[in-house]
A and B are shown apart, each in its own frame.
Chain A
Amino acid sequence: MYSYWKNNQLKIAPWIFLAPGILMFSVYVIFPIFQSINLSFYQWDGLGTKTYIGVDNYIELIDDEYFIVSLKNNVIWLVLYLLAVPAGLFAALFLNQTVRGIRIYKSIFFFPFVISQVVVGLVFSWFYDPSNGLLNVILEFFGFDSIAILAEEDYVTYGIIAAGLWPQTAYCMILYLTGLNSVDPEQIEAGRIDNARGWRMLWYVILPQLKPATFIAVVVTIIGALRSFDLIDIMTGGGPWGSSRVLAYYMYEKAFSEYGFRMGYGAAIAVVLLIIMMIYIATILYRLYRDEKGG
């Protein structure tokens, strides 16, 4: 026994260290995924007996206009939320200087990330409030009509995304600020000697060195966009008439809310959400793999 351990120590040890993580991951992530996929073929109210209905839930999804709206909003979220990355970069570049009191400015810029999403949602709800909100006070001052952003189906999703961008930009900014600390000053100097400045300096010298920070910023922003649940719940509850829902919120409504308890249908929505996430994650992993291989 002892000699077996001796001979294979290097092979076995990693698995022993990985075992707790693998166990947790299987029980709490992998197994539930398959459970959800299985559940999506049933009709179940969470109380009575489950009835197998094949792909009926998915057929209903295709014909469900609320689902289509949620899917569309998810795409809008994914695209627009990425604005947090360049915005964070420019905030970081702006703050990456040594002047008096810069730490205070940095703290102020980082502040929105520290407060809870619920507070962010409330602050923006008040900001958009049609009668007393700051936005409409400003609009009316310049002679425009007041507009209830959170009650307009065409604007509501953008309004919530704007609220979400506020803390997300701060997050990306912090990632870039750390990244900027590790930018090699010698390369900048070399670039300067070669007469690179402004945009060219940023694009060819700084940004390549910030690649790890960019990668993390993109990943957390995409994850943030897909989890955009709390802001929607606080600001609109999915309304008006369901036009600001995203898939995660629609799944929650169908499966767990006061008027829901269609577990099978909720599971089917979750499976669609999973597929979207898998596409994103696979793309990112593939690029990561390619970059590492390519060196």
Chain B
Amino acid sequence: MSRILCVAEKPSIAKAVAGHLSGGTYQTHNTRETFIKNYVFDYDFGPPWGACSVTMTSVIGHLTGLDVGPELKNWSYPPPERLFDCPVMVNVPNDKKNIAKNIEEQARRASALFIWTDCDREGEHIGGEIRDAAKRGNHRIEVRRARFSNIERVHILNAARNLVNLDERQIEAVNARIELDLRIGYAFTRFLTLNLRNVGPELNDLMISYGSCQFPTLGFVVDRYFRVKNFVPETFWAIKVMYKREKIDVNFHWARHRLFDRHAAVVLYERCIASRHAKVTKTEEKPTKKWKPLPLTTVELQKMATKFLHLTGQEALAVAEKLYNNGFISYPRTETDRFDKAINLQALVQKQIPSEQWGQFAQGLVNGAFRAPRQGRNDDKAHPPIHPITFASPAVLGQNERKVYEFVVRRFLACCSEDAKGVATDVEIAYGDEVFTAHGVIVLERNYLDVYKYENWTGTAILPKFTVGERFEPTEALLVDGKTTPPGYLTEADLIALMDANGIGTDATMAEHIEKIQERQYARAVERGNRGGNEDAPAAPAARGGGRGRGGRGQAGRGGRGGTAGRGGGENRGSGIREFIPTALGVALIQGFDRMSFDMSLGKPFLRKEMELKMKAICEGRADKERVLRQSLLEYRQVYNQSSAELHILKNACRQYVLGHGEAAGGAG
């Protein structure tokens, strides 16, 4: 019987997979590393492997690190720009030596290595590290990889019989990314720390670290901060028409919405009044829908968690990982928002019937209310949208796990049900030369809303009957005024959406970068509502927002329905929504780079976005690693040289904001 070595990315996956393959009976051997066990059992992998003796073990994340030589550990010499071209080497950090050794030893006795790391770019790279360790023990060992996106039994057994090869391109892309992050991060961190040290006492002992994702992330926060701070409120005028019929106050909205000129508004208003009668020009009654949500991606999970679950994006992802490791949900790092036709969704729905909370709803779907989910436009070709795999009783889950699991399940069930349905009535009138409309909705069937408690659709009362051509005298016609209000500071959901749209980080790392800029004290999160009075309250009916919420319309696909994120509108007040405000140091760093005369400011997303696109190109075989490295390093080196030449601008920004010299000191901090 041939011997096979299987290696997973984490101990929990090793154990789960060993359990499924062995049918539950395996021997457990300790290794030199406390958390790592070797599970030994027999399994038939089918041709060409046949029945094998299997050892299943794991690593704990990455097995190796990249670093510069000891001669570059000294910050004062050589100068930071050496880091752009100095030699770098891969090494196994001390805390990973025993894990690597275990793989090396096990490989000696095995004829093949099967890799069970997560199926994403990082996972592929870890697979490469495992392969290298195994080859050190046995250079002839055959290497295969299992493709799986959840640890449900049938799925795992299927993966075990359909092994593929490691994807070298993805490994190379991650290698490129790691090397760029190392060189650029080191170079700019030293540059900033050494040069800003003597600007003032506040900066004396500070390590000012730079990361190619953190800075653009901070850039978004600073940009919004200044938009709020520089905002100039303006008065606008609007005409409001009300007509009482059948005891219903029907409010008509001005087709011009609002005008920022009193003279013009008054002239138009006067002509309405002069005409006395309004004439109905159009009435329409038609079925309307509120669309059910798209299948769940990582970015969406994080955004929703910050809005509704009182978790940060990073916490949500960590909890989701745990749920995945326990086999309750599918792999939580995915960009895919469409389900593959091959997945038996109804069977997954059926598994939720035992729930006391949503079991009945699931039962309803199984009994015939099931509808195919909407198809989004994104498919990472590696993982399905996040969905529940088995039913997890609340008793076995911690508090946060319960919240995230509940969200994942409710979202999934919502995806598998019918859109909410209603009837919309629209009435258009001509009053003087002006056009006004009234809109009414009654909700007829809530459908998915019954299970998806994170959304609501409140119908307004249905409008009374109006007939085209009829004339009436409005009960009330007022010229009202209001003031524009500044946008809110960025919420975590906004920030994630911005990072997503601008290619900063991957869906799995965005939350880390957000965490980092706080850790580094470049920005802090404060509870919304801690800023001034009611000036936020809409002053007039026409306060904000063009569309009159015709339900959750929005094109299929991401970004399409993002309109509400910009400004919580008031619905979120006091619900623990946190907003990001830059510190004085954060403002100084971004402004310092932005004020320099070249366009490629480190505070902007462009450089990083290009890098991310190049990684993608490597994965798709359109670029090779060496060229990408050369090109990117050249770009960053240029920025480095330009930044050195204009260092005084950065220093002045620090003096201005951090030390409070010159202009107003940023206010934040």
* A, B co-complexed: no
- What residues make up the interface of A, taking CB atoms closer than 8 Å to B? none
- What residues make up the interface of B, taking CB atoms closer than 8 Å to A? none
